[in-house]
């Protein structure tokens, strides 16, 4: 059992002081695993002022070795995490446009978002990037796992498209680094595949397979080591009380397939009672399932440089929210015993 948090921005901070402060506070909270973006792509570096790791355009594919805004920033973040005994989950791609997602590949190589998964030129470039990152860091003790994509979707597609892509891509990563775990990074969308496996299955958005993802079929892929689940009920149109059902359903699938499941993102927007809302979800993880861990979105702090990479879900350092949902939950999870066989 382990407990972690999301800090997507860790390798995208330009200030060493910002990184050091954040890592110190994350470690002081008791977190041992942090999920931070391992991607950063632009199609036009001439108009890019943020950190980016690669360029994709008609001239080719280039990696950014500039020490102030290139891969050196991720180098520093990984080294800082290592010093504090923290391990990182590194997603290698984003479904969305932030910091260069799938569309930066299709902008360079043609097609649209949904065709990315079968676009030969885009997949070749993506594997080049995978090789660049995995070979650079696979010997680091600060790597917890590799992740194929943050929240991959292929809206309206057959789920077989992402399942095949996930199978092929995870096998490729394992060929480069057989010593680290690999996950898909999906939100955990369910389909009729799971109707006989889970209780309280229903015909609504999260269960229709509309986003082209079948959690159960993907978790069965031999080269994926654990499943990921995300929860954003303010965006999905569900009541917050449904969260414990969503967690339990994925736990049941993990048990059936004998694989761990990680509640990798969950969030409550500012202005709500986060302890009252997220507390029951944490209790479900802790006392009612064998879910291996959970990671709030996202850790928040005040950066010395004035950088503002946070959103309205951030749970800030030195607050009661973080003391209860962070530090106390870390201590509780450390004493957790599995309820189901995983």
Q: Could you list the active site residues? A: 151, 265
Question: Parallel, antiparallel, or unpaired for β 54-57 and 41-42?
Answer: parallel
Task: Name the percent of the chain in helix, strand, coil, to the closest 5.
Answer: 45, 15, 45
Helix axes 71-83, 16-29, angle to 10 degrees: 30
How does DSSP assign 10-41, residue by residue? GGG-S-HHHHHHHHHHHHHHT--EEE-----E
> What is the CB-side half-sphere exposure of residue 191 using CA atoms within 13 A?
17
Bridge partners (DSSP) of residue 56 are: 61
Cα 114 from Cα 165, distance rounded (Å): 12
Strand order in the sheet with 227-231: 181-183, 143-147, 87-91, 33-35, 4-6, 293-296, 261-266, 227-231
Name the residue among 316, 314, 286, 287 with its Cα closest to residue 301.
316
Evaluate whether 23 touches 88 at the Cβ level (below 8 Å).
Answer: no
24 closest CA partner among 7, 1, 49: 7
Kindly state the tokens that stand for 311.
């959103």
In DSSP notation, 182-198 reads EE--------GGGTTTS
CA distances from 263 to 37, 191, 250 (A): 17, 19, 9
Among 137, 125, 220, residue whose Cα is nearest residue 179: 137
């Amino acid at each position: 059992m382990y407990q972690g948090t999301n800090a997507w921005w860790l390798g995208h901070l330009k200030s060493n002081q910002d990184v050091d402060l954040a890592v110190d506070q994350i470690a002081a909270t008791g977190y041992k695993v942090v999920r931070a973006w391992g991607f950063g792509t632009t199609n036009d570096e001439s108009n890019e002022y943020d950190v980016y790791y690669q360029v994709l355009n008609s001239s080719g594919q280039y990696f950014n070795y500039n020490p102030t805004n290139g891969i050196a920033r991720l180098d520093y973040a990984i080294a800082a995490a290592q010093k504090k005994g923290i391990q990182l989950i590194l997603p290698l791609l984003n479904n969305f446009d932030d910091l260069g997602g799938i569309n930066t590949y299709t902008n360079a190589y043609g097609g649209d978002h949904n065709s990315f998964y079968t676009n030969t030129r885009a997949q070749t470039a993506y594997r080049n990037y995978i090789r660049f990152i995995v070979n650079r860091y696979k010997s680091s003790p600060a790597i917890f796992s590799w992740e194929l994509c943050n929240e991959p979707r292929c809206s309206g597609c057959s789920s077989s498209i992402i399942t095949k892509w996930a199978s092929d891509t995870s096998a490729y990563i394992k060929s480069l680094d057989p010593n680290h775990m690999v996950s898909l990074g999906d939100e955990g969308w369910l389909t009729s595949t799971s109707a006989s496996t889970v209780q309280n299955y229903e015909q609504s958005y999260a269960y229709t397979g509309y986003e082209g993802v079948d959690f159960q079929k993907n978790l069965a892929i031999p080269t994926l080591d654990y499943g990921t689940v995300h929860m954003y009920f303010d965006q999905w149109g569900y009541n917050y009380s449904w969260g414990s059902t969503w967690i339990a359903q994925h736990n049941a699938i993990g048990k059936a397939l004998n694989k761990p499941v990680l509640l990798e993102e969950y969030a409550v927007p500012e202005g709500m009672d986060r302890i009252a809302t997220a507390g029951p979800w944490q209790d479900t993880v802790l006392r009612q399932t064998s879910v291996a861990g959970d990671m709030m979105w996202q850790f928040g702090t005040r950066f010395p440089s004035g950088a503002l990479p946070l959103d309205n879900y951030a749970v800030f350092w030195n607050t009661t929210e973080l003391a209860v949902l962070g530090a106390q939950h870390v201590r509780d999870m450390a004493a957790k015993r599995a309820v189901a066989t995983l």
